């Protein structure tokens, strides 16, 4: 186990370097000089022709100063190393837009995105696990086929379609007004409201985004649950449990379920990155001030430090997730640590 862990951690080093390098290069190699695009916004026309040599040199000097302010005047590899060094101290630099530290801006938005994702993941598990159990215990029955097919259909519904349909039909356009078209709270939301009213208002606002973020997860997870449960059901100890006269209820819920739940927890890591991507669409459509919206706005405004920070942070978080689930799997199944991985 110890050697496995050590090997796993050592292999993390090249991956970490790779992730930071890819993120850095993608953002920095995009065409267009950030100084011209952002600081030069007002001067852009001025930097063109028709300007006296004297004035142009003033503009150039201003741009050079702006570059120096953000360390963009140094060669690319030095920039990368400096950025990497700051990364270790959780210093992502300052936003181009308002010069506020990127970390502060992320911290403001983080709770919203986390709230959204935790509720979605909970909903996925709450729906998919029972569905999977039902499908496995009624394998190949009509009910199994219907749930499987239904989940499959849901899985194929594009998020952008579901979100737009929701906005058009149930969010107070010309049709129904069941849910608010966006935001996290009502406009007149006030501290003085009784707690129950506050919770109700938040649930009302979060309901659609959470459902939209989770519905496509039902299919994958319930299928996964079904197959891992069927696998456990085939094992001898289940036969033994039944033979010694335990009720079917106890066999399923206590013996089988417990053993088939472990892999479900470990695939959490693989769901996470999808959620971050999904957040961009959902947060943009429902104007929810979370990380996805921050990221998309930063991309459009070419606020490189924010984009870079978001890319890196979500990659690193996913990496930690994968690592944890690998370790968890190794703990559960010692064969993995001995290098006898399956496929």
Partner 1 sequence: MAQEKRAGPVPVGAVVGLGLAAGAHNRIEGHWSGVWKGLKRNRLAVAGLYTVGFLLIMAATADFLANNKPYTMVYQGRTYFPIIRSGLVKFRLTQWQPELLNMDFKTVAAERIVFPPIPYLASDIDLTAPFESPSTKHWLGTDKLGRDVMAGLIHGSRISLSIGFVAVGIALTVGVILGALAGYFGSWADLAISRIFEIMLTLPTLFLLITIAAMFPPSIFLTMAIIGLTGWVGIARFTRGEFLKIRNLDYVTAALALGVSTRKIMFRHILPNALAPVMVSVVLGVAGAILVESSLSFLGIGVPAETVTWGSILNEARSSTFAWWLALFPGAAIFITVLSYYLVGEGLRDALDPRLRGSR
Where does this chain bind partner 1 (CB under 8 A)? 11, 14-15, 18-19, 22-23, 26-27, 30-32, 152-153, 155-162, 164-165, 167-169, 171, 173-175, 181, 270, 273-274, 276-278, 280-281, 284-285, 292, 295-296, 299-300, 302, 307, 310-311, 314-316, 318-319, 322, 343
Smallest separation, CB 21 to partner 1 (Å): 9
Helices (H), 70-178: 76-88, 102-137, 142-156, 159-170
User: Which C-beta is closer to partner 1: that of 241 or that of 298?
Assistant: 298
Smallest separation, CB 115 to partner 1 (Å): 19
> Among residues 43, 71, 75, which one has the least CA distance to residue 57?
43
User: Which C-beta is closer to partner 1: that of 105 or that of 255?
Assistant: 105
Helices (H), the chain: 2-10, 12-28, 34-37, 53-69, 76-88, 102-137, 142-156, 159-170, 195-233, 236-243, 248-250, 257-266, 268-285, 291-301, 304-332
The 3-state DSSP class for residue 221 equals: helix
User: Which C-beta is closer to partner 1: that of 94 or that of 279?
Assistant: 279
User: Which C-beta is closer to partner 1: that of 5 or that of 261?
Assistant: 5
CA angle (100, 90, 24) in 5-degree steps: 85
Smallest separation, CB 15 to partner 1 (Å): 5
Q: How far apart are CA 209 and CA 176, in angstroms?
A: 17
Smallest separation, CB 162 to partner 1 (Å): 8
Smallest separation, CB 37 to partner 1 (Å): 10
User: Which C-beta is closer to partner 1: that of 235 or that of 270?
Assistant: 270
Two structure tokens written together for 227: 């197959």
């Amino acid at each position: 186990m110890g050697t496995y862990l050590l090997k796993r951690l050592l292999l993390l080093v090249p991956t970490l370097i790779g992730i930071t390098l890819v993120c850095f290069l993608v953002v920095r190699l995009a065409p267009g000089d950030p100084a011209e695009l952002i600081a030069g916004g007002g001067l852009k026309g001025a930097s063109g022709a028709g300007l006296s040599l004297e004035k142009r040199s003033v503009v150039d000097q201003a741009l050079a100063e702006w570059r120096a302010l953000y360390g963009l005047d140094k060669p690319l590899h030095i920039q990368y190393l400096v950025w990497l060094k700051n990364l270790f101290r959780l210093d992502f630099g300052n936003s181009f837009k308002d010069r506020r530290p990127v970390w502060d801006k992320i911290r403001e938005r983080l709770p919203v995105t986390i709230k959204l994702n935790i509720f979605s993941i909970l909903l996925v598990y709450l729906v998919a696990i029972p569905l999977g159990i039902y499908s496995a215990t009624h394998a190949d029955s009509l009910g199994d086929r219907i749930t499987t097919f239904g989940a499959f259909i849901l899985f194929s519904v594009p998020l952008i379609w579901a979100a737009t349909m929701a906005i058009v039909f149930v969010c107070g356009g010309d049709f129904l007004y069941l849910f608010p078209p966006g935001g996290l709270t009502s406009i007149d939301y006030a501290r003085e409201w009784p707690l129950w009213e506050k919770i109700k208002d938040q649930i009302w606002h979060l309901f659609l985004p959470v459902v939209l973020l989770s519905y496509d997860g039902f299919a994958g997870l319930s299928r996964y649950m079904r197959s891992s449960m069927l696998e456990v059901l085939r094992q001898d100890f289940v036969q033994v449990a039944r033979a010694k006269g335990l009720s079917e209820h106890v066999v399923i819920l206590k013996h089988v379920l417990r053993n088939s739940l472990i892999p479900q927890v470990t695939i959490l890591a693989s769901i996470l990155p999808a959620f971050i991507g999904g957040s961009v669409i959902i947060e943009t459509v429902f104007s929810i001030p979370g990380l996805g919206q921050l990221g998309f706005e930063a991309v459009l405004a070419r606020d490189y430090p924010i984009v870079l920070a978001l890319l890196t942070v979500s990659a690193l978080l996913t990496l930690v997730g994968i690592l944890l689930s690998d370790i968890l799997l190794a703990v559960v199944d010692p064969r993995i640590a001995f290098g006898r991985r399956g496929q």
